[in-house]
Structure 1
Amino acid sequence: MATESRRRRRTPWYRKWYRHVSRPRLALTGLLLCVLVSLAWQAGSWGLAHLQVVAVENTLKRWGQNGKVSSEKDLDNAFVAIDRAIALHHDNPYQLSLKARLLEWRAYAMREDEGRVADYRAALALYKEAAALRPMWPETWAEMINVKLNLGELDGELQTWMLRADEMGPYTPAVHTAIVRGGYALKQQYPFEERPLLDRHLLRGLADHRSRPEVARLVEQYAQEVSACRTIAQAAEPRPRLQICET
């Protein structure tokens, strides 16, 4: 009797549960366990991808502050990190945009002419993929405009993207600078049909402290001081300020 009692006490709980549970309940429990395992894996992969993304963001921020890529090794490490993140979540538009930005930096800092064009085209392909996944994100359209300009492609597609960027982000700083840059580049061609679009974002870009320095730099880069000052003078109050117009 003592031996039988010890055996009963030692019987694992899950055996008793399995012995008495109904088949439908057993199936439901199995399904719930599969869902929990899947959710745990998904959460873990998101966490790992986020760590890689943060590393790339910090790297890009440092390059932006310094105005240059720190080293080729730094660049290689950033590509490894973003490729790991994309492998975990290949359809994340933000991660695709980050890789495109890395390609732009490599084209700017490391590549000869042929390699530079290839990197810009690869970046543009990634931006297009990101825009397809997240079409209402204005920064992506602005980035596509800038890459298109880096490739020297002043065409109908560029103008279409400018209109799309204006539609998605009429008050977005990145859109202001991209449209001003694109507008000034297109002004070198005749006829230029998007003057109201250019003037609108010139004024908004100068009025926004986040985009004002870059817009002012573009005015000087493209030698558009006279045109910009005329646009400001004709604008309704309160008018944005541009130092060159006050001298």
Structure 2
Amino acid sequence: MTVKSLVFKITLALVLLLCLLGIYTAFTWIMGDLYGYKVRYAVEQWQEQDGLPKVADINQVIEDVDSAIGWEVDNPQYHELKARALYYKALAVGVDDEGLIYIESAKKSHILAISLRPKWPYSWANLVLMKSYLKEWDDEYSAALDNAVRFGPWEQSVHLTLAHAGALSWTHLSIEQKKAIAANVERGIVRNMQGIAFNLDAYKKRSLVCAYMQRDERQKKFCSKR
């Protein structure tokens, strides 16, 4: 066998190997997206409907998202979707001892999503919310709050999630954290006053948050409504 022939065979083998690798990678993307699409569609439907989904439906979505993750373990969106499905399950069974198990699992999935996409504000905001339910007002909580505001200062979903988390945690927050939540509310009521009010009123915290907001016409309108 000549040197030229040997080089040709090695090159051909490498090309074939790269082609197979490309085919396998494309196949994993397709399979992951097949399951991921089902999960995204279901979660979007839950967000728009009145009331909570059935536990059986949530379990099916969790099974589907686990399949998606099995094909694409490094896809941050799938971990984020799993966290949201787990949160729905916690709400469906009740946020008590059993529900908190799913909240803890959702927290871990949000942390995984953050490790893969560290500048995604929704994951940071949802981590704040999960830790609020778990009563974990620690350094990780503060970092998550800071990053949610830093990376998504004008994202409506971030506004709603942090308003919910802030109302849930208000009496345990530092003054600086309360100021951060109030500033988030100020930005949120620019486009979604009703949604922000709903989250604060659910925990009867609107007047407390209003005390930390800047005094202007928008604040006056928001804080005078009951």
Asked whether the 8 Å contact 2:83–2:110 carries over to 1, the reply is yes
C-alpha distance 225-75 of structure 1, shift in aligned 2 (>3 A): closer
Matched, 1:201 2:184: yes
User: Cα distance, 1:194 vs. partner?
Assistant: 2.9
Structure with bigger gyration radius: 1
CA distance in 1 between counterparts of 2:133 and 2:172 reads 16
Matched, 1:214 2:195: yes
C-alpha distance 240-207 of structure 1, shift in aligned 2 (>3 A): farther
Name 1:90's counterpart in structure 2.
73
C-alpha distance 227-116 of structure 1, shift in aligned 2 (>3 A): closer
CA distance in 1 between counterparts of 2:60 and 2:105 reads 19
Q: Is the deviation greater in 81-90 or in 182-191?
A: 182-191
Name 1:54's counterpart in structure 2.
37
C-alpha distance 45-151 of structure 1, shift in aligned 2 (>3 A): same
The partner residue of 1:43 within 26, 31, 52 is: 26
CA distance in 1 between counterparts of 2:162 and 2:84 reads 19
Q: Is the deviation greater in 188-197 or in 85-94?
A: 188-197
Comparing both chains, which one has the higher relative contact order based on Cα–Cα distances under 8 Å and sequence gaps of 6 or more?
2
User: Cα distance, 1:22 vs. partner?
Assistant: 2.0
Asked whether the 8 Å contact 2:38–2:64 carries over to 1, the reply is yes
The partner residue of 1:138 within 107, 110, 121 is: 121
Superposed, 1:171-190 pairs within 5 Å as 171-189=154-172
User: Cα distance, 1:191 vs. partner?
Assistant: 5.3
Asked whether the 8 Å contact 2:76–2:114 carries over to 1, the reply is yes
Asked whether the 8 Å contact 1:97–1:126 carries over to 2, the reply is yes
Q: Is the deviation greater in 130-139 or in 192-201?
A: 192-201
C-alpha distance 96-45 of structure 1, shift in aligned 2 (>3 A): same
C-alpha distance 147-225 of structure 1, shift in aligned 2 (>3 A): closer
Equivalent position amino acid for 1:71 in 2:
K
Structure 1 length as normaliser, TM-score? 0.78
Name 1:167's counterpart in structure 2.
150
- The percent identity for this pair of structures is 23
Q: Is the deviation greater in 190-199 or in 132-141?
A: 190-199
CA distance in 2 between counterparts of 1:40 and 1:229 reads 56
Equivalent position amino acid for 1:98 in 2:
L
Structure 1: 5+ residue stretches without partners: 1-18
C-alpha distance 89-183 of structure 1, shift in aligned 2 (>3 A): same
Structure 2: 5+ residue stretches without partners: none
CA offsets, 1:162-190, max 9 Å, x none?
11211121112222223333333443247
Equivalent position amino acid for 2:196 in 1:
V
Asked whether the 8 Å contact 1:69–1:75 carries over to 2, the reply is no
User: Cα distance, 1:246 vs. partner?
Assistant: 6.0
User: Cα distance, 1:60 vs. partner?
Assistant: 1.1
CA distance in 2 between counterparts of 1:190 and 1:51 reads 42
Q: Is the deviation greater in 175-184 or in 43-52?
A: 175-184
Superposed, 1:112-131 pairs within 5 Å as 113-131=96-114
User: Cα distance, 1:120 vs. partner?
Assistant: 0.7
CA distance in 2 between counterparts of 1:157 and 1:89 reads 27
Asked whether the 8 Å contact 2:124–2:147 carries over to 1, the reply is yes
